[in-house]
A and B are shown apart, each in its own frame.
Chain A
Amino acid sequence: MDNNIAIKADKLTKRFGDFVAVDAITFDVKQGEIFGFVGANGAGKTTAMRILCGLSTPTSGTATVAGFDVYKDAEKIKKNIGYMSQKFSLYEDLTVMENITFYAGIYGLSDKDIKDRGAELLDRLGIAHEAKTFVGSLPLGWKQKLAFSVAVIHRPKIVFLDEPTGGVDPVTRRQFWDLIYEASDRGITVFVTTHYMDEAEYCGRVSVMVDGRIDAFDTPANLKKKFSVDSMNKVFYELARGAKRKAD
């Protein structure tokens, strides 16, 4: 495997009966890159992401994640990635430290590592005094930062973020991106979906999915140049308004 490639997909396809949810997508993500994966509701993002996380088997095409094959090595993929979504992340009725211990344990960290990295995590987020607080009573912004930190506690090669910043205030949303940049600086590859097109501008490269296909794939600057527009929002609008599919 090429050591500089974190994810590689070649004509990756997923069908559900007659419906082609993911239609022969080809792309690659470099190690340490922040990769934006955007598309309209129903464009096929979630299906593609589930395949790359080892949760769903493709119908045809090939893909490797962290060097592992999505058909044969799904279990190895799961061990080498982190995953965070806005909806399903932390247990609200466990405390902050219990959540950390639970996830770190699932990822197979030793008791010592759990203790050390847990303390380091609390310290970095400045919430050591909240270690015994139930997650359910934390402000949304803190929950998101905690969920992200827990998703990378086992130091995965790649972290998948599924709409991580929905609903939070503009300042917290930006603080969250500071965490993403830090992870990227540490060499973690970040694969992120978002509906905020200003966030697409923060990515190294962006792919735009329309009706199961990847219709555009480049740096934000090149995409804007190609469509002769001044923002990723307009790039997205140009591409997605032609979509035929209206389903989720």
Chain B
Amino acid sequence: MSAITLDNITKTYNKGKVLAVDKATFDVAEGETFGLIGPDGAGKTSIFRVLTTLLLPDGGSATVAGFDVVKDYEKIRNCIGYMPGRFSLYQDLTVEENLNFFATIFNTTVKENYKLIEEIYVQIEPFKTRRAGKLSGGMKQKLALCCALIHKPRVLFLDEPTTGVDAVSRVEFWDMLKRLKHQGISILVSTPYMDEAALCDRIALIEGGKLLSIASPADTIKKYPGKLFAVKAANMHQLLKDLRSYEGTHSCFTFGDAMHVSFKQDANTDVSKLTGYLTAKGHKELEIAEIPAGIEDYFIRITEKEIAEK
């Protein structure tokens, strides 16, 4: 059985004027970590709210743990854990009180499922008498995850758990998710960080309410059409301008310390021609190498047209 299924789920706001989710169809297998990858406003949170039974869809159907999101909403609420994007624990309860509260409303005790959260909880235990509102960002995030897990949910929903979190804490958080996966919990997680996509079993790329691609991270990048080159030179800002005005260029974007350049389909992808062009423009320390595309390259490739029109 699938942990989550969506069949043409549509969600609109403002009496139908704003289309937030447009016929989303995908499913998440039992025990799978599935990533929804896209920027703010893409429709990720609306999908989460429909699946966690907090919003009714306008069309389509969906199930979580085998239950229908409309008819069986009570059953779903009993067997899922949900960590919303905005910190939603009780700020004026302590760490311990929050955890006890969430265990109690799910008719269980902290003791009963302690094993599941132990590894995460020990990191915040020294602060168990501190009010949640006084915790740091990283600790809030860990407490929220503990509270979402304390009733041993079958499916875990994590809406942008790492937004605004520094690179080290993000790595730690994904290590925790990996361990939860080994406990057999199915996870739907969203993120605007493309580098985190690689850590999911499968990912859906989403933009403007539409699912653009659903595949494993490895298969996603295989779909990148044509070749991709990384270009470096001493003056990177000038390099960007010159590459964008090169006749064969399809698109050129900065990626860390290099420019990623793709060529038009019919263009001559002969590197020596590009080298000649850039050298004539006076570029020094020129490096051009063909590279494999990453998820962010593919995301840009399939969305650049829509974003340019926006």
Contacts and interface: CB of A to CB of B under 8 A. Distances in A.
13 contacts: A41-B164, A41-B169, A169-B38, A169-B39, A169-B192, A181-B237, A195-B164, A195-B166, A201-B257, A202-B236, A202-B254, A233-B195, A236-B167
B166 A39 contact: yes
A105 interface: no
Contact of A198 (B164, B256, B304): B256
Across the A-B interface, the 7 shortest Cβ-Cβ residue pairs: A169-B39, A248-B136, A167-B40, A198-B256, A201-B256, A40-B166, A247-B136
Interface string A230-248: 0111001100110100111
Nearest to B39: A169
Contacts of A201: 256-257
Contacts of B307: 141, 169, 171-172
Given A167-B192, A171-B303, A171-B307, A42 B136 contact: yes
B164 A237 contact: no
A39 B165 CA distance: 11
Interface in B3-62: 38-42
Q: Interface size for chain A: under 10, 10 to 19, 20 to 34, or 35 or more residues?
A: 35 or more
A134 interface: no
Interface residues of B, number: 36
Q: Among A169, A185, A240, find the residue whose CB has the most chain B CB atoms closer than 10 A.
A: A169
B254 A174 contact: yes
Interface string A166-199: 1111111010010001000100000000010110
A231 B257 CA distance: 8
Contact of A240 (B139, B166, B195, B256): B166
B41 to A, nearest CB: 6
B162 to A, nearest CB: 9
Interface of B: 38-42, 136-139, 163-169, 171, 192, 194-195, 207, 236-237, 253-257, 296, 299-300, 303-304, 307-308, 310
Given A201-B256, A220-B257, A195 B40 contact: no
A237 B167 contact: yes
A139 B18 CA distance: 13
Nearest to B305: A171
A150 B303 CA distance: 28
A125 interface: no
Contact of B167 (A42, A140, A172, A233): A233
Interface in A132-155: 139-141
Given A40-B166, A170-B296, A195-B164, A177 B194 contact: no
B94 to A, nearest CB: 16
B159 to A, nearest CB: 12
Interface string A75-106: 00000000000000000000000000000000
Nearest to B207: A169
Contacts of A69: none
Contacts of B38: 169
